[in-house]
């Protein structure tokens, strides 16, 4: 399938606009919704995960504008969504190991940066997204987890839409066009831009960068977005394991 090139200047607006929407929602939308009686847990789901779901819609619109037929096989071919082979699984395992290792090694740096002026999260951020606070055992954003199965279901759906939105649009639609334009340098540009896209977690950028670069390189090298979906999904699902454990108590 022929794919047109796209420059950094043109592609970066997809990152800038979506990041700005999420940033505004987190930093201004949450306190606004709380002031109108909406608990922080639901406020967070609204301002963070709805924009991420809209990335899926954006990817489909982007795909249609390119003039491709609206069928599943053509869409899978366009965004490099292929069946995993043995080498793909090995790369996926390596990427997951690197991502977890980088997070564990650099998390203390993120916690330190979170205490520095402009980089610090606002005080109304709950402990789950604020490294300067200590989470309450058995709770998520002021909701007691024990017996609350609906929380696990909502969290799972939110993570799935989050991962698919980012991978379909950023790696599937944009990275492939950047590769046509920049060749073997595209993954590097893309990884840096995707890291900066997470500016709403500005204290964590140093922790995100190694994974962002490795994720972009893996998709570029294997030409399979499914590698990114699997690893990105696994990493974002890790908190769900702890949530389910608390729910079952």
- The helix-helix angle for 86-113 and 225-248 (nearest 10°) equals 60
Q: What is the pLDDT of residue 249?
A: 83
Secondary structure in 3-state letters for 77-134: HHCCCCCCCHHHHHHHHHHHHHHHHHHHHHHHHHHHHCCCHHHCCCCCCCHHHCCCCC
What are the tens digits of pLDDT across the range 38-96? 999 999 999 999 999 999 999 999 999 999 998 999 999 999 999 999 999 999 999 99
**In this model, does residue 1 exceed pLDDT 80?**
no
* CB-based burial label for 52 (10 Å; 0-12, 13-18, 19+): buried
What are the tens digits of pLDDT across the range 160-193? 999 999 999 999 999 999 999 999 999 999 999 9
What are the tens digits of pLDDT across the range 116-165? 999 999 999 999 999 999 999 999 998 899 999 999 999 999 999 999 99
Alpha helices in the chain (DSSP H): 8-24, 30-35, 40-44, 50-65, 72-78, 86-113, 149-166, 176-182, 186-197, 205-222, 225-248
- Over residues 85-113, the mean pLDDT reads 95
Are residues 227 and 218 in contact, defined by beta-carbon separation less than 8 angstroms?
Answer: yes
% of the chain with per-residue pLDDT over 70: 100
Separation of alpha carbons 88 and 79, rounded Å: 16
* CB-based burial label for 123 (10 Å; 0-12, 13-18, 19+): exposed
Separation of alpha carbons 84 and 224, rounded Å: 8
Q: What is the pLDDT of residue 142?
A: 84
Q: What is the pLDDT of residue 50?
A: 96
């Amino acid at each position: 399938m022929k794919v047109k090139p796209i420059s950094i200047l043109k592609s970066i607006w997809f990152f800038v606009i979506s990041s700005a929407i999420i940033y505004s929602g987190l930093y201004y939308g949450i306190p606004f919704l709380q002031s109108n009686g909406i608990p922080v847990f639901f406020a967070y789901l609204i301002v963070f995960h709805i924009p991420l779901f809209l990335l899926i819609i954006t990817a489909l619109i982007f795909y249609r504008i390119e003039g491709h037929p609206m069928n599943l096989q053509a869409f899978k071919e366009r965004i490099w969504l292929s069946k995993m082979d043995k080498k793909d699984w090995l790369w996926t395992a390596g990427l997951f190991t690197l991502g977890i290792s980088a997070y564990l090694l650099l998390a203390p740096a993120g916690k330190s940066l979170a205490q520095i002026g402009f980089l610090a999260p606002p005080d109304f951020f709950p402990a789950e997204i604020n490294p300067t606070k200590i989470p309450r055992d058995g709770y998520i954003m002021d909701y007691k987890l024990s017996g609350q199965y609906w929380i696990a279901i909502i969290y799972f759906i939110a993570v799935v839409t989050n991962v698919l939105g980012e991978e379909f649009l950023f790696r599937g639609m944009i990275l492939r066009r950047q590769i046509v334009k920049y060749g073997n340098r595209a993954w590097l540009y893309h990884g840096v831009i995707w890291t900066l896209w997470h500016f709403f977690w500005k204290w964590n950028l140093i922790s995100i960068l190694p994974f962002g670069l490795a994720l972009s390189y893996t998709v570029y090298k294997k030409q399979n977005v499914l590698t990114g979906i699997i690893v990105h999904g696994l990493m974002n699902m890790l908190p769900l394991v702890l949530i389910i454990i608390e729910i079952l108590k």
